[in-house]
Structure 1
């Protein structure tokens, strides 16, 4: 059955769901750990960090942030900040939740920084849902979402299979068997430049990634359309100077860099070499923090260990093969997992 074949009805969120909100957490009270920390961000499923603080809410819930009414299904127990609303119901699972989050997001056009959706506003918001006997048709929502998943997973598997076929596994030395040498970052990257300050208030919504100092989502903090008075880079590494200090990512696309990140570029490097080195530059986060940021002078003095050839030069060929081997293995694992999940759903 299609969406157009169903009868629909408007429901107030508070009439259907238990609605709650998170708890304020000071930065200096955040513990290191692995529990999802949900805040008022419209990216990365609402996750801004992973923390060690005890979780407040159980999985199979929906979180709603206050700025644009971005709603996300949470598949794990989580901690939630005070500026996020939590929606719970006994019939919420992965598939019904994903159906409902899309209906909530449709109301987001009404909200902004100047008109935020705090918990009481979320309670009064209405959403359209398919019905059966004048009540939400939970069974239809689940089956409809599963059908979409099945189509998307097939497309993903076809894409991955084509990608994996172009990756050839090569026998190479283990990391521990290679010779390694320290290199100054400034000697590895001829082009080192920090981005330019761009406040939230001056960001224009668009499609160009805006990379800042977050440790999540490849460093992407927003998508913007600013073209003047900004610094754009592509095909390079970024490293966070502040915030999540040391977080390092390979950026394959053109992006706008904030003043909280520095771009590192070497035209002799490709995607795989960048990914190898990003893992090593990311370790700089161990020696820096909010109180000790990576200044322009400090980054020029930093070193990284790299595998080398017999002439003591960086072995970029080895790095490329090493990453390709990992990617081929991981993509095969993803494909197997998706197929297993699909069989369990069916």
Structure 2
């Protein structure tokens, strides 16, 4: 990072409005979830999960070009190097007259994100027409945008990140991407699983977390996770040292109460709000990490559509909620969840290794991608 920081500190900077950079700024079109037809077109809406891609559709919607940037109503900013559709809560930015490189567009996206960060939420939503006069900082040389610097900087940044990923995969021993027969079967059989709804409280013991206000903590003062209702960093805001009487037990499914962010928490933790919920599997033998990674997704998919900032979940409400789970003999079938998640993890690791091998000149880990 010292080299990259040095590059940023030595370059000259100038301000440029969004409208001076892009000659195309278009708002997406409304397409309700119930009207979306399964297909191959990525459909983007407001949110950060999966970079805002909520579905793959075949509806006759406007398809936006590759090499575009999207900004949703909350200011979440993403670069897109593929064709896609977008909902009416997302603005799309690109240029038809300037042949910006992929690296330059990535730099634009980062700079735009910094300008918008923290300015928008449910109470104040951004529309693309409002963003025209926002100004981002860009490297300049002789009074003009220094595209050569931008392209070199992004290339170096990407190379550094790939190097870090190679090191992480190697040190973590993530070199086994070969599926076992059981994992292969679990992936194959998943398509044929039957699902049924069960009361949340029949599967989990539900509790409110303790509450420690952010003003009462010292950030980075310890090694215990301090959780908030954010999707970033698995809801971990910082790590602190605090009164152990305020600890919540880990190895659980955690729900950020006001935002309905669902995650698995492996370790004991502190919480920023008593509106947050923890769910503990009643069947102790099934309370494994892999099982709960799957169950956290089940909770999110089953209940996520019900709750929002203005209508948040609570311990009282969840008592009447149901979640969809695999079923066998009319009972929840949690027997194969761990095997399925193990298989998915291996597939993700394989994709990471293949990505590294495509981006890196090194032959490290090539053998593991086969």
* TM superposition score category, shorter chain reference: 0.5 to 0.7
Residues 322 and 77 of structure 1: is their aligned pair in 2 closer, same or farther, counting only changes over 3 Å? closer
Q: Deviation digits for residues 273-311 of structure 1, max 9, x if unmatched?
A: 3345667x58986xx987xxx9745638x763479xxxx
Residues 234 and 58 of structure 1: is their aligned pair in 2 closer, same or farther, counting only changes over 3 Å? farther
In structure 1, the partner of 2:152 is: 143
2:82 to 44, 60, 76: 76
Q: Does 1:100 align with 2:114?
A: no
In structure 2, the partner of 1:198 is: none
In structure 2, the partner of 1:35 is: 41
In structure 2, the partner of 1:201 is: none
**What is the rounded CA distance, in whole Å, between the counterparts of 1:315 and 1:295 in structure 2?**
21
2:128 to 119, 122, 133: 119
Residues 188 and 171 of structure 1: is their aligned pair in 2 closer, same or farther, counting only changes over 3 Å? farther
**What is the rounded CA distance, in whole Å, between the counterparts of 1:221 and 1:19 in structure 2?**
35
**What is the rounded CA distance, in whole Å, between the counterparts of 2:351 and 2:118 in structure 1?**
42
**What is the rounded CA distance, in whole Å, between the counterparts of 1:320 and 1:126 in structure 2?**
48
Is contact 2:254-2:263 (8 Å) kept?
yes
**What is the rounded CA distance, in whole Å, between the counterparts of 1:170 and 1:299 in structure 2?**
33
Is contact 1:30-1:51 (8 Å) kept?
no
Is contact 1:40-1:66 (8 Å) kept?
yes
**What is the rounded CA distance, in whole Å, between the counterparts of 1:140 and 1:101 in structure 2?**
16
**What is the rounded CA distance, in whole Å, between the counterparts of 1:62 and 1:100 in structure 2?**
8
Secondary structure class of the residue paired with 1:107: helix
Q: Does 1:235 align with 2:235?
A: no
Report the CA distance between 1:141 and its aligned residue.
0.9
**Match runs of 1:266-281 below 5 Å:** 266=282, 267-268=284-285, 269-275=287-293, 281=298
**What is the rounded CA distance, in whole Å, between the counterparts of 1:29 and 1:187 in structure 2?**
29
Is contact 2:200-2:319 (8 Å) kept?
no
Q: Deviation digits for residues 242-284 of structure 1, max 9, x if unmatched?
A: x99xx986454657899999945254322123345667x5898
Is contact 1:19-1:123 (8 Å) kept?
no
**Match runs of 1:12-51 below 5 Å:** 12-27=17-32, 30-33=35-38, 34-41=40-47, 43-44=48-49, 47=52, 49-51=54-56
Aligned residues: 311
In structure 2, the partner of 1:228 is: none
Is contact 2:177-2:349 (8 Å) kept?
no
Is contact 2:204-2:279 (8 Å) kept?
no
Q: Does 1:210 align with 2:229?
A: yes
**What is the rounded CA distance, in whole Å, between the counterparts of 2:161 and 2:15 in structure 1?**
29
**What is the rounded CA distance, in whole Å, between the counterparts of 1:248 and 1:135 in structure 2?**
46
**Match runs of 1:222-301 below 5 Å:** 234-237=250-253, 250-252=264-266, 263=279, 265-266=281-282, 267-268=284-285, 269-275=287-293, 281=298, 296=319, 299=322
In structure 2, the partner of 1:334 is: 352
**What is the rounded CA distance, in whole Å, between the counterparts of 1:340 and 1:168 in structure 2?**
17
In structure 1, the partner of 2:68 is: 61
Q: TM-score, normalised by structure 2?
A: 0.61
Is contact 1:192-1:265 (8 Å) kept?
no
Alignment gaps of 5+ in structure 1 = 196-205, 212-216, 225-231, 308-312
Secondary structure class of the residue paired with 2:28: coil
1:2 to 4, 7, 23: 7
Report the CA distance between 1:85 and its aligned residue.
2.8
Report the CA distance between 1:18 and its aligned residue.
1.6
Q: TM-score, normalised by structure 1?
A: 0.64
Is contact 1:185-1:299 (8 Å) kept?
yes
Is contact 2:194-2:327 (8 Å) kept?
yes
Secondary structure class of the residue paired with 1:35: strand
Secondary structure class of the residue paired with 1:124: coil
Secondary structure class of the residue paired with 2:173: helix
**What is the rounded CA distance, in whole Å, between the counterparts of 1:110 and 1:330 in structure 2?**
31
Residues 261 and 6 of structure 1: is their aligned pair in 2 closer, same or farther, counting only changes over 3 Å? same
**What is the rounded CA distance, in whole Å, between the counterparts of 1:66 and 1:236 in structure 2?**
32
Report the CA distance between 1:20 and its aligned residue.
1.7
